[in-house]
Chains A and B, each alone.
Chain A
Amino acid sequence: MELLVASAVGVLTAAGVYLVLRLRTFPVIVGTALLSYAVNIFLFASGRLQIDQPPILQDGVTAYSDPLPQALVLTAIVIAFGMTAVVVVVALGAYLSSQDDHIDDRPGPDDPDAAEAEGQGGARP
C-alpha cells in the first residue's frame, strides 16, 4: 500500500515535470494536470493511510481516518480543475493569435521592435 501510493506520487510527479519541460502548450498542460494528480494523492496520504475507517466520530469506534486531508484534496481538485480550464483557454488564445504553441520566448516575438508591433498593434478582431 505505502509502496503503491509513494510510487504513484513519484511516477506522476516525474512524468509531470518531464512534460512541463517540453515547452509546448499541450504537453505542458497535460504535465500540470499530472502534477496536480500527484499532489492530490500526496495530500491524501498526508493524513496517514487508513483503509475502511470512518472519518466521523461514532460510538464504539476507536480507529478513524483523518477527514481533513479529504477536505483539502477536494478543495485542491476544484482549484486545479478551474486552473486547468483557464490555462487551456489562455493557451488556445495564444495559439490562435500567433499560430505558434511554444511556451518559451522565441527570438522573433521577443525582439523589442517585433514585440512592440505585435503587442501594441495586436487589436482584437
Chain B
Amino acid sequence: MTHWIVLPVILPAMMAAIIVLVLRGHPLLQRVFSLAGAVAVLAVAAGLAWETADGTILLYQLGNWAAPFGIVLVGDRLSILFVLLTALLAVFVALYAIGSGWDMRGRHFHALFQFQLMGIVGAFLTGDAFNLFVFFEVLLIASYGLMIHSGGSRRFRVGVQYVVFNLLGSTLFLFALGTIYAETGTLNMADLAQRVAEVPAEHTAGIRAAAVMLLMVFAVKAAILPLHFWLPAAYSTAPAPVAALFAIMTKVGAYAIIRVYTLIFPPDLAITQGLFDTWLLPAALLTLAVGMAGVLGARRLDRLVAFAVIGSMGMLMSAVAVFTPQGIAAALYYAIHSTLATATLFLLVDVVRARRAGGSLGFDPAPPIAGGALVAGMFFAAAIAMAGLPPLSGFIGKLLILDAALADPRIAWVWAVILGSSLIAVVGFARAGSTIFWKAHAPGTAPADAPPPATQDAGESTTPPQAGPALPMVAIGGLLAILVAVTVFAGPLQRHLAATAAQLFAPQPYISVVLGTPGKAIDKGDHGNKAETDKAQGDKAQGDAAQADQHTAGEEH
C-alpha cells in the first residue's frame, strides 16, 4: 500500500496548521509555505496521474482497516484527474493572490486556502460517502472564511446567504446519507454499489428517495438550475483569487454526480431509471439557458462571469445527463476547460477592477484602463474560450458535447439550447469587452491622472493604477497557456478522458480493489509478517484489477 495518495490531503492540512500556528507574524514565510504546499500537491498529483494513467486503481486504507469497516481513499483516473486540476489551479491562484496583495488584505488567507485545498482534494479522493460529507464540510467551512476575506458589508451580507444555503444543503446531505444507511447498512461507495443492486424490487422507496436527495445535494454544489441562487452573488462578491478557486468547487458537485451515479446508481439500474432523462437533462439545459441569458443581462463584469459559471455548469451537466461514456468524456473535457477559463476570467475581472478608474466594473464609460492592450487581449482570449468560439478549448468541448448528444433521443433540444445559448454568450461577452476596453473614453480624464482605485482595503490602495505588478499577469498568463495546451493537446487528452469514462462504466475493478484488499489483521499474530503478506496481496489485487480494466476497455473499443 503506497502512502502517496494520502499526501494531497495531509500536506495542505499540515501546511495550514504550520501557517496558522507557527508563521502568524511572518507574511513572507506564509506566502512561501502556501505556494510550496500547492506546488508539492501538484507534483504528487502529477505522479499519481502518471501511476493511474494505465488504469491502475490506487487504494489507501486509513488506519489499515479493510474497506467496508474503515475509510478508504481511492485514486482512479477520474479522481486523480480532478486532483491534478485542483492542484494546477491552486498554484496559479496562490501566485495571483500573492502578486496582487489580496492575501494580506485580511487575516489567515493562506491557512484557509490550504484547508480549502485539503477539503477539495479529499472530496475527490474519498471512497466513503460519509467521508465525502466530511470533506464537503471542510471545504465549505474554509470557503466561508475565504468568502468574507478582507471584509466589507456587502461581502458579509452575501456571505450569510452563502453559508445558510450551504448549511441547508449539508442537512439534506445528512438526511440522504441516513436514508442510505438505513436501507443498505453501509456507506462505503464500493459496498453500496453491490448492495444497492441487491435491494429487492418491492422495497425500493427509501433508496430511491435517497438517490434523489443526493442528486439535489450535488446539484446545490454544482449550481444546477432551481438550486443555483447562491452562486452569482457569492462568486461576484468573493475576493478574486477566492472566486477563481471556487471555479473548482462547482466541479466538486459535478464530480460527485459522476462518481455516485456511475458507481452506486449506475444508469442501467432499474430503481433510478428516468432520473437523468426526466430531471437532470432538462434542468441542465435550463441552467445553461439561464446562465447565458445572465451573461447577456448582467450589468457588471463580475456578475457576468458568475453567470458564465452557471452556464458552463449547465453545459457540463447536459453532457453528463446524456450518460454515455462518450458524454462523460466530453463532460470531463469541458470541466477542465471551464475551470481554467472561469478562473482566468475572475482574475482578469480583478485586474480590470484594480486598474480601472474608480474601481468600477459597471458597463458605463470610464477612462481607459492602464496597460489596456494586454488585459484586453487576455480578456478577449478567455472570453473566446468561455463562449466556446474557435480556436480555443471551449469550442472543442462544445463540439464533443454536441457529438455525444447525437445518439440521445432529445438531440433537438440539446443542440438548440447549446447553440442558442452560445450565441447569447458571445453577444454578452462582446458587449462587455467592447464597453470596457474599446469605448473607454470618458471626457476630460486622462488615464495618467486617474484616481487610484478604491480597493477593498484602504491600506492596500498603494498599488499604482497604471503599472500593476507583473506577478498577477504571469499567473493569468499561465492559466491561459494551460488553456491553449488543453486545446493543442486535445487529442491525447480526449483519449485519456475516454479511457477514464470507460473505467467509470466498468466499475467492477474499482469494487474488487476496494473490497478485496485485506486490511490489518485483528488476531494476534506476527505483525511484521502479516503486513508483508497484506501488502503482497494488495498489490496483486490492484494488478488484477488493472488487467481486468484494460480487458474491459479493450472490449469497449
Interface residues of A, Cβ cutoff 8 Å to B: 20, 25, 28, 32, 35-36, 38-39, 42-43, 45-48, 68-69, 72, 75-76, 79, 82-83, 86-87, 90-91, 93-94, 97-98, 100, 103-105, 109, 112-113, 115-116, 118-124
Contacts and interface: CB of A to CB of B under 8 A. Distances in A.
Interface string B161-177: 10110011011001101
Given A97-B152, A105-B233, 12 more contacts: A35-B171, A43-B181, A47-B181, A68-B181, A75-B134, A87-B164, A90-B160, A93-B148, A103-B161, A120-B359, A123-B458, A124-B457
Interface string B125-139: 000001000100100
A102 to B, nearest CB: 9
B155 interface: yes
B170 A83 contact: yes
B150 interface: yes
Nearest to A84: B167
17 contacts: A32-B167, A42-B174, A46-B179, A47-B182, A72-B130, A72-B178, A75-B134, A83-B163, A86-B145, A91-B160, A97-B152, A97-B153, A98-B156, A103-B160, A118-B152, A122-B153, A122-B155
Nearest to A71: B130
A93 B233 contact: no
B456 interface: yes
Contacts of A86: 141, 144-145, 163
A17 B372 CA distance: 50
Interface residues of B, number: 47
A64 B343 CA distance: 52
B168 A94 contact: no
Contacts of A94: 153, 156-157, 159-160
A122 B456 contact: yes
A78 to B, nearest CB: 10
Contacts of A116: 300, 360-362
A20 B144 CA distance: 19
Contacts of B144: 86, 90
A119 B457 contact: no
A98 B153 contact: yes
A58 B157 CA distance: 54
A109 B161 CA distance: 14
A113 B362 contact: yes
Contacts of A47: 181-182
A6 B170 CA distance: 21
A115 B154 contact: yes
B178 A39 contact: yes
A98 B134 CA distance: 33
Give the one of B137, B187, B458 with max A CB within 10 A: B137
Interface in B177-192: 177-179, 181-182, 187
Nearest to B461: A123
Nearest to B186: A68
Contacts of B17: none
B299 interface: yes
B160 A122 contact: no
B11 interface: no
Given A72-B130, A121-B454, A83 B137 contact: yes
A93 B362 contact: no
A5 to B, nearest CB: 12
B151 A43 contact: no
B168 A20 contact: yes
Contacts of B151: 93, 97, 122, 124
Interface string B279-301: 00000000000000000000110
Interface string B300-326: 100000000000000000000000000
Contacts of A113: 362
A94 B164 CA distance: 13
A20 to B, nearest CB: 7
A57 to B, nearest CB: 11
A39 B181 contact: no
B164 A20 contact: yes
B161 A122 contact: no
A118 B154 contact: yes
A21 to B, nearest CB: 11
A125 to B, nearest CB: 9
B156 A90 contact: yes
B261 to A, nearest CB: 22
Interface in B225-283: 233, 237
Contact of B167 (A45, A72, A83, A123): A83
Contacts of B155: 119, 122
B156 A93 contact: yes
Contacts of A103: 160-161, 164
A83 B171 CA distance: 11
Contacts of B362: 112-113, 116
B134 A79 contact: yes
A67 B457 CA distance: 51
Nearest to A111: B299
B371 to A, nearest CB: 20
A35 B168 contact: yes
Contacts of B154: 109, 115, 118-119, 122
B455 interface: yes
A119 B237 CA distance: 8
Question: Which 7 interchain pairs have the tightest Cβ spacing?
Answer: A122-B152, A97-B153, A119-B154, A94-B156, A46-B182, A46-B178, A98-B153
Nearest to B163: A87
Contacts of A105: 157, 161, 233
A94 to B, nearest CB: 4
A90 B457 CA distance: 19
A122 B171 CA distance: 33
B491 to A, nearest CB: 43
B265 to A, nearest CB: 19
A122 B151 CA distance: 8
Contacts of A120: 152, 353, 359-360, 454-456
